[in-house]
Amino acid sequence: MSVALVDVRTVLEQVLDPVTGVSLSRAVKDSQIQIADGRVSIQVILGYPAASRLESLRGSLIRALNAAGMAQVEVAISTKVVAHAVQPGVALVPGVRNIIAVASGKGGVGKSTTAVNLALALQAEGARVGLLDADIYGPSVPTLLGVSQRPDSTDGKTMSPVVGHGIQANSIGFMISEDNPAIWRGPMVTQALEQLLRSTNWDNLDYLIIDMPPGTGDIALTLSQKVPVVGAVIVTTPQDLALLDARKGLRMFEKVNVPVLGVIENMAIHICSQCGHAEHIFGEGGGQRMAAQYNVSWLGALPLSMAIRVGADAGQPTVLSAPESEAAKLYSEIASRIAAKVAELPKDLSDKFGVISVKRT
């Protein structure tokens, strides 16, 4: 059979990326397709980590090519996470390709637990991931990661991140005792957070997840303006009171030109461990309706689960402690959707053009 480029393109159009639902044709340039003596070689490069999906996707593509009469095929699928554009005029953070803010309009919606599990899910797919705890008044990342040591410093000016479960992390919680409150005013908090971000020696991260402080006050607003964020994720419960504040958080990011990657509805449903009865304790579908109202992506819903709470309190988040559980699979699916959304954003081209200065002569 004589094979032409258009024949291969036709097959690629029919095979969908399982995360984005978009045809693989978008992920393959003509230069990544080689045809010689009836043999077809294709190189697919996904822009997000997908270690658990590569072989399945490769098999689907090979079967589709075979079904189209192409018997001699060679398919290589890999991933490459690149840096994406941030707000204009905000300095980048060395060692970090992409920063994702995980935010909520109010506390108590499970934002920190969600952020840690998403970080672990991205790592499980092959990404290098860091986590910055931006909640000065209520740092929870040390507990969630099960680590408590202070960051090391070799020069007295910068810090090495603390590593928990393979995640590079930093938090004010590593530097003060658990029962010692941070009694600081807004400007001090903002300065401390910028120092945590920029004085930490992050090591070649694909993603740095920032667990944002709750609310839309001065601290959250200043952070969203000064931190080079590629996108934000809003975590809410279905409850009307939580949604009121979540909408404010979403609008805050829109006003400072940070793309909202989507909405996660946490504690969406509770299933009784004794009888199996399912109940929507905090209401039903509120986050999904909010996403539709503001024309942003609906990333998924997570359950209200005792196992998630127990694992979080023990420093053994669900993605790590129960990787085969339904909850862990939901975290993994949501994390992949977030990473795929980031991959669709404009790429960072600052290293291509350098700094342009204009002088009056």
Mind listing the pLDDT tens digit of every residue in the chain (361 residues)? Answer: 578 888 999 999 999 998 999 999 888 999 999 999 889 999 999 999 999 999 999 999 999 999 998 989 999 999 999 999 998 889 999 999 999 999 887 677 889 999 999 999 999 999 999 999 988 777 899 999 999 888 998 888 899 999 999 999 999 888 876 655 555 665 677 788 888 999 999 999 999 999 988 766 667 777 778 899 999 999 988 876 677 778 888 888 888 889 999 999 988 777 666 666 666 666 667 788 888 888 999 999 988 888 888 999 999 999 999 999 999 999 999 999 999 999 999 999 876 655 444 455 4
Angle at 192 between CA 189 and CA 197, to 5 degrees: 125
Q: What's residue 358's pLDDT?
A: 46
Is residue 361 in a domain? no
Q: What is the pLDDT of residues 108-166, one digit of tens each?
A: 788 999 999 999 999 999 999 999 998 877 789 999 999 988 899 888 889 999 999 99
Residues 151 and 276 in one domain: yes
Residues 145 and 280 in one domain: yes
Residues 70 and 157 in one domain: no
How would you classify the pairing of strands 162-164 and 33-36? unpaired
Is residue 186 in a domain? yes
Is residue 131 in a domain? yes
Residues 208 and 64 in one domain: no
Angle at 302 between CA 301 and CA 306, to 5 degrees: 160
Residues 102 and 203 in one domain: yes
Question: Containing H/E element for 77?
Answer: strand 73-79
Residues 52 and 106 in one domain: no
Residues 186 and 324 in one domain: yes
Q: How far is CA 250 from CA 173, 215, 292, 302, in A?
A: 27, 11, 13, 19
Nearest in space to 206 (alpha carbons), one of 121, 261, 132, 127: 127
Whole-angstrom Cα distance, residue 290 to residue 236?
10
Residues 152 and 299 in one domain: yes
Contact at 8 Å (CB) between 93 and 202? yes
Is residue 90 in a domain? no
Domain total for the chain? 2
Residues 203 and 245 in one domain: yes
Residues 38 and 103 in one domain: no
Q: What is the pLDDT of residues 166-206, one digit of tens each?
A: 999 999 888 876 655 555 665 677 788 888 999 999 999 99
Is residue 348 in a domain? no
The CATH number of residue 254's host domain is 3.40.50.300
Is residue 351 in a domain? no
Q: What's residue 361's pLDDT?
A: 47
The CATH number of residue 25's host domain is 3.30.300.130
Is residue 244 in a domain? yes
Q: What's residue 145's pLDDT?
A: 95
Residues 152 and 26 in one domain: no
The last residue of one of the domains, among 20, 52, 79, is 79
Residues 33 and 136 in one domain: no
Q: What is the DSSP string of 278-303?
A: EE-TT-SSHHHHHHHHTT--EEEE--
**Structural domain span for residue 54:** 5-79
Long-range pairs, 320-325, Cβ under 8 A, ≥24: 320/120, 320/165, 323/124
Whole-angstrom Cα distance, residue 80 to residue 50?
10
Is residue 193 in a domain? yes
